Structure 1
């Protein structure tokens, strides 16, 4: 005789749980004797009500966890979507701010590569450069000039020059580029590096120019230059000129 593990009653036969390995009489097992017999080889996988409930509970728990994770993801997406308009407004504000800041620099140039020296006279340096590139400048044509704090090295802080108007500035830059290679020795200073005369770009546009140059190199573009503070790229001398005013315009360099 066998003993039912649930009611402790005596039984001649019963059902055996494949999980807890307990033997139950048919009254406690929740299955009829005929039903259990019909299981045949599947009797080895039969579960008692307690173990079956436990398995269902675990499955339900796992399903609930998945639902909870899905709800969190949906909440994150919904939150992000609500923030998109504010982010767009912020981007638009920053772009407008950069455009206004760049407009304020329309008459300005940045001269890099001039070695520092004691008691230097920036106006004399600018005048010397003008004479060398055959575009003489006088004091009345310049609003102001100063040494920038943004520097790639202690000995070559950029000189910022503000001309009386944009046309003087553009002609000065064009003359410097036509001269091709300008060095400190050309203006009476000691040094072997090069002097560069360019538009005075904002930090954001300087980064944009750097990205444009990198992409142009990767995609075999021959020309990258700045004219009137606008970045221009060109595949070759027969290709159309592409203006790079915003980050999204970089997609055109391909």
Structure 2
């Protein structure tokens, strides 16, 4: 490549921008443009003008600093110091870029995990919705079962409407239950004819230490109510005992409605609540449980534990 001189400083040059007006060539530094910037001009280099041609008022060209100039030497030295200072920063920058790259990978993995987690949460929410719907159905079924139990208990109690339960009769072999019940009728002044009784039997009990109660089923509920009323009236005068029937021992005899197991449990709970709430009276009539606070308070019929929960 042929060498020429700079149109600004007069020093020789081998490469530099060429002015489209004065047709002089310049050092890149003298021309006020970098080599990279000049080459990026592309076809526009054909119209490039030097600083002097751009500003005609400037008569003298700016001096170009040569490598031998003291100022450029000081500047080069200063730049070298700065470059030396930048070397550790460049290394730190490289490490930082690596850390940023790792962080981006971690963020990408975290985003994937979050998307997976969100998917699982959505699936869990869907399952929870199904569970809530199922829970509503279960609650409805529980309510329905509860109503059915109440209905079954009511029907079972209705089947026992003609029955009385006699407790406290000593149990012996070859006993005649009809004779025993007839003796009770005599003691309470109620003439009990055999044709008024459908059947008599003892039933098993959980209390192994106590004799099995006797169940008497009458021909109709009216006979049963009359017999039961006579027993209660007699007990107000004197409680009937086994010795009154010329049976062994001196145990008390109780004649009551033949309640279902569920109603017997409800009666025990009612008695407990009555004691806690200072109710004076608890009784059973027509196989129904009643409560009364005192002689002037209203009578409360207890049909279920819900009724007990309303007592204050």
Tell me the TM-score normalized by structure 1. 0.75
Which structure 1 residue ranges, 5 or more long, are not aligned?
1-9, 15-23, 32-46
2:98 alignment partner in structure 1:
28
**How far, CA to CA, are the matches of 2:180 and 2:125 in structure 1?**
66
Q: Say if 1:151 and 1:157, in contact at 8 Å, map to a contact too.
A: no
1:147-174 CA-partner distances (Å, limit 9, x unpaired): 1123522551010001122222122222
**How far, CA to CA, are the matches of 1:57 and 1:112 in structure 2?**
76
Greater relative contact order, per chain length (Cα 8 Å cut-off, separation 6+): 1
1:218 alignment partner in structure 2:
276
| 2:190 is equivalent to residue 190 of structure 1 | no
2:262 alignment partner in structure 1:
204
Q: Say if 1:134 and 1:175, in contact at 8 Å, map to a contact too.
A: yes
| 2:138 is equivalent to residue 83 of structure 1 | yes
**How far, CA to CA, are the matches of 2:114 and 2:252 in structure 1?**
73
Q: Say if 1:151 and 1:158, in contact at 8 Å, map to a contact too.
A: no
SS at the partner of 2:92?
Answer: coil
Tell me the TM-score normalized by structure 2. 0.62
| 2:178 is equivalent to residue 123 of structure 1 | yes
2:233 to 171, 175, 178: 178
Root mean square deviation of aligned Cα: 2.8
**How far, CA to CA, are the matches of 2:120 and 2:268 in structure 1?**
48
Which structure 2 residue ranges, 5 or more long, are not aligned?
1-88
**How far, CA to CA, are the matches of 1:85 and 1:242 in structure 2?**
29
Matches within 5 A, 1:19-98: 25-30=95-100, 48-52=103-107, 70-98=125-153
1:168-212 CA-partner distances (Å, limit 9, x unpaired): 212222222233322111111112332111100111211221221
SS at the partner of 1:172?
Answer: helix
Matches within 5 A, 1:120-159: 120-153=175-208, 155-159=210-214
Q: Say if 2:243 and 2:251, in contact at 8 Å, map to a contact too.
A: no
Number of residue equivalences: 221
1:246 alignment partner in structure 2:
304
Further displaced range: 101-110 or 141-150: 141-150
